[in-house]
Amino acid sequence: MLTRFTTSCVTLAAYMLGSEAVALVDRHASGCGKQHSSGYNSNLEEHRLVSKDVLRNYTIYVPTSYNNDPQKQWPLIIDYHGNGGNGSQQHDNSRYDKYTDDYLLVYPNGYEEHWQGPSYAVPGIDDLQFTTDLLAHLRTEYCIDDERIYASGKSNGGGFVDTLACSDNGNEFAAFSMAAAALYTDLSVDGCPYKRAILESHGAADNTIPYSPTKSGSGGALPQVADWVRWWAQRNGCDPTQAEVVEKPGYNHTSYSCQGANDVEHYKIFDLDHCWPSSSGDNYDYENPRCDDYSLDFTPVVLEFYSRWTLSSAPGAKDWRMWKGD
Ligand SMILES: *[C@@H]1O[C@H](CO)[C@@H](O)[C@H](O)[C@H]1NC(C)=O
Ligand SMILES: *[C@@H]1O[C@H](CO)[C@@H](O)[C@H](O)[C@H]1NC(C)=O
Ligand SMILES: *[C@@H]1O[C@H](CO)[C@@H](O)[C@H](O)[C@H]1NC(C)=O
């Protein structure tokens, strides 16, 4: 006889660091009720886990009012840094906590500062499994709203968000967003089996991951960004020629409504190089003078995008839940 579980009843095995025990953890409840220091915590010794025998770590922002109601479930953003960077740098780049105090914000550190996908990443490092292990670990420590888990990233980290969107491991995420994504793992429309809520921004003057590459990047072949956006529209069930394009000063905004309103969104920023777009210029990337295009403030755009998606309403959620047997 088949036993059916709803998503909320699924239990996950989690290996607890520093203990021999394997704990069975309820997806929802276990981290609820624990107190945590609020604000940005960058002490890596306090935020470690083992994934596939490798010691990994992350930094975290805990909302100011986190301890007021220990049973409140918080939405979560996992934000992946660029190649050669680190979580603290990405925190200074996207600065979600400057715009909202309503999310747990987690900044994992890549192994040797890379994420899997490009040829320069360390062979054998499985960041998809790390992401799944990180979520299991976070659920034991924090009170997380499983309906509202989101992935964010820049460059190599943005490309990894796309890799995640194209994998089973991405099924725990309601929406995916990225800036200047290095899309090394996504080179054809049929290379990815999922429908997802996808948001990307890309500078037309990007010299690292060009908008219209004419040769391979440092990590391998890259797609034309405009093609890749159309692939997502097609994957989500849209006619890829039916984009809605809105011209704004300094950028074009392209969107498709396929599985829901504006489930594929793209910003092409005309004079921007390889940067997380900011209109105030006070984020990490804008220390680089090549980033002096102030036409779009991307972080509030991402937060608005996330606010429209939950795991249940996400494009394709029904398909992969059926496939998983939920
Ligand atoms: C993270 O990167 C920033 C910027 O490059 C650097 O100043 C900082 O020391 C790095 N932090 C760690 C923990 O490596
Ligand atoms: C954090 O992880 C990075 C990447 O694996 C590693 O280089 C660094 O030593 C770790 N730091 C701590 C304190 O665990
Ligand atoms: C912006 O969109 C308009 C309308 O589709 C198009 O004519 C124009 O070429 C686009 N600009 C760029 C730089 O892609």
pLDDT tens for each residue of 199-232: 999 999 999 999 999 999 999 999 999 999 999 9
Residues of the chain with pLDDT below 50 are: 1-26
Distance CA 273, CA 288 (A): 10
Closest-approaching ligand to the CA atom of 17: 2
Output the six-digit token pair for 161: 């968000």
Supply the pLDDT for residue 321: 67
CB 53 within 8 A of CB 38: no
pLDDT digits (tens, 9 = 90+) for 29-61: 589 999 999 999 999 999 999 999 999 999 999
Supply the pLDDT for residue 318: 75
Supply the pLDDT for residue 292: 94
Ligand 3 atom nearest the C-alpha of 245 is 5
171 lies in which domain range? 33-307
Answer yes or no: is 14 within a domain.
Answer: no
Answer yes or no: is 250 within a domain.
Answer: yes
Distance CA 280, CA 258 (A): 33
Answer yes or no: is 315 within a domain.
Answer: no
Domains in the chain, number: 1
Supply the pLDDT for residue 15: 37
Q: Which region holds residue 273: left if phi is over 0, alpha if psi is between -120 and 50, else beta?
A: beta
CATH code for the domain in which residue 290 is found: 3.40.50.1820
Question: What percent of the chain stands above pLDDT 90?
Answer: 87
For ligand 1, atom 12, name the residue with the nearest CA.
Answer: 86
CB 118 within 8 A of CB 218: yes
Closest-approaching ligand to the CA atom of 85: 1
Answer yes or no: is 323 within a domain.
Answer: no
Answer yes or no: is 28 within a domain.
Answer: no
Answer yes or no: is 227 within a domain.
Answer: yes
The preferred substitution site among 251, 252, 267 for testing ligand 3, maximizing ligand atoms within 8 Å of CB, is 252
Answer yes or no: is 1 within a domain.
Answer: no
Supply the pLDDT for residue 322: 62
The preferred substitution site among 53, 109, 116, 134 for testing ligand 2, maximizing ligand atoms within 8 Å of CB, is 109
CA 104 to chain centre: 13
Closest-approaching ligand to the CA atom of 58: 2
CB 116 within 8 A of CB 127: yes
Answer yes or no: is 237 within a domain.
Answer: yes
